[in-house]
Amino acid sequence: MRGVAYSTQVEISLQNVHPFQFPGVPLTLAHNGDLARFAEMRPGLARHVRPELAHHIRGTTDSEWIYALVVSQLDEPHAPQTGTALVGGNVSGIDGPLVIDVALLGESSRPLRRAGARPGDAIVVTGRLGLAEAGLALLAAGWRLGDDDGVGGYEPAADDVAALRACLRAQLDPAPPLAFAAALATAPGIHAGMDLSDGLSGDLAALCGESGVSALVRSSRLPLGPALERQGGGDPLLHALHGGEDYELLLAVDPAHVGGLEELARVHGVGVVAVGALAEGPPSVWLDAAEGRVPLPPHAHQHFAPPEGER
């Protein structure tokens, strides 16, 4: 089934029929709607479209340009790691900059849900927490990641380059553990899980709420990012607890299967750490810190919370 893009400014022709797919690119785009003031935006968009893709644009629709723009941002558009296909969308006009919102649909034989965690389960996380939040702070402080993967904005000390690069890349080009996440579908002893995109304090509270358990996090076990406070990177512990956009995994695991999970993670080149445990009790999160056991209220991003000035 194919459709003709509707617009009073676009001629009806074969070149303007969606879905669009460039030769050799396993991604397809079809969408409804049109982009307000597209003619004004096209020169700016053209600068971000790869030349080898731009010459495939045959029609006059905004849809084909959006497709070319999205495909141009992929590291290897002819062989995406995820095997996903861009199959639809809906573009609306707004009074502001161009915003692309992405929704992912899929299926799983054994989906991991937030519900299902049990008292006694180990709280396991992947990667290092807080890197993306530190990267955001570094960007605000003026640091930049160069095209050659170098660090610019200031003159970094040689010992700080790797740490600065790791934080900036975590914010600008995150690499979720996709293959490891897929392997969890057949791993035993994993009772619940979710991604860590809105901060440990908020996401763990959500998992506890869905599973009806309480959690104790040991601060000494948290896999922290590098200490870059002097460079403007902020507090690594606060970032690990409350920072978002890490795109790591939060899992509730039977303690008897933590060793097997660690072995699976090593195969996929992913670090995993048990940072606490779940217990019976009303849904709550506690932190075992140097000053003792204290409540850990969620300070993570809240999708449906009103802006600060309206609370």
Q: What is the pLDDT of residues 78-105, one digit of tens each?
A: 555 666 665 666 656 666 666 677 777 7
**Distance, CA of 249 to CA of 193 (rounded, Å):** 7
Tokens of 241: 């607890």
Shared-domain flag, residues 60 and 190: no
* Residue 107 located in a structural domain: no
Shared-domain flag, residues 138 and 46: no
* Residue 105 located in a structural domain: no
Shared-domain flag, residues 139 and 44: no
Shared-domain flag, residues 283 and 155: yes
Shared-domain flag, residues 155 and 237: yes
DSSP strands (E only) in the chain: 3-4, 17-18, 32-33, 90-91, 122-126, 144-145, 151-152, 190-196, 214-218, 248-253, 272-279, 284-289, 292-295
* Residue 259 located in a structural domain: yes
Residue 77: pLDDT over 90: no
* Residue 116 located in a structural domain: no
Shared-domain flag, residues 66 and 158: no
Q: Between 106 and 173, where is the model more confident?
A: 173
Confidence grade of residue 283 (pLDDT, cut at 50, 70, 90)? very high
Do 13 and 59 form a contact (C-beta atoms < 8 A)? yes
Residue 4: pLDDT over 50: no
Residue 117: pLDDT over 60: yes
Domain endpoint, select from 70, 91, 112:
91
Residue 8: pLDDT over 60: no
Shared-domain flag, residues 146 and 265: yes
Residue percentage of the chain with pLDDT more than 90 = 48
- Map residue 237 onto helix, strand or coil: helix
Q: Between 40 and 133, where is the model more confident?
A: 133
Residue percentage of the chain with pLDDT more than 70 = 79
- pLDDT for the residue 299: 85
Tokens of 285: 């999160």
Please give the residue range of the domain that contains residue 84: 3-91
* Residue 115 located in a structural domain: no
Which phi and psi (to 5°) does residue 279 adopt?
-145, 170
What's the domain count of the chain? 2
The DSSP-derived string for 16-50 is GEESB--TT----B--EE--TTHHHHHHHHHTTS-
Shared-domain flag, residues 27 and 81: yes
Residue 307: pLDDT over 90: no
- Among 81-85, 92-96, 291-295, 306-310, the range with the most confident prediction by mean pLDDT is 291-295
Shared-domain flag, residues 189 and 254: yes
- Map residue 94 onto helix, strand or coil: coil
**Distance, CA of 148 to CA of 29 (rounded, Å):** 31
Provide the mean pLDDT of the chain: 83
Shared-domain flag, residues 174 and 265: yes
* Residue 98 located in a structural domain: no
Shared-domain flag, residues 184 and 282: yes
Confidence grade of residue 3 (pLDDT, cut at 50, 70, 90)? very low
Q: What is the pLDDT of residues 188-235, one digit of tens each?
A: 999 999 999 889 999 999 999 999 999 999 999 999 999 998 899 999
Q: CATH no. for residue 128?
A: 3.90.650.10
Shared-domain flag, residues 147 and 31: no
Residue type, 206: A
The DSSP-derived string for 258-306 is HHHHHHHHHHTT--EEEEEEEESSSSEEEEEETTEEEE----S--TTPP
Confidence grade of residue 120 (pLDDT, cut at 50, 70, 90)? very high
CA distances from 246 to 108, 129, 177, 181, 280 (A): 23, 6, 11, 14, 28
Residue type, 102: V
* Residue 103 located in a structural domain: no
Domain endpoint, select from 51, 69, 91:
91
CA-wise closest residue to 65 among 10, 8, 147: 10
Confidence grade of residue 6 (pLDDT, cut at 50, 70, 90)? very low
* Residue 221 located in a structural domain: yes
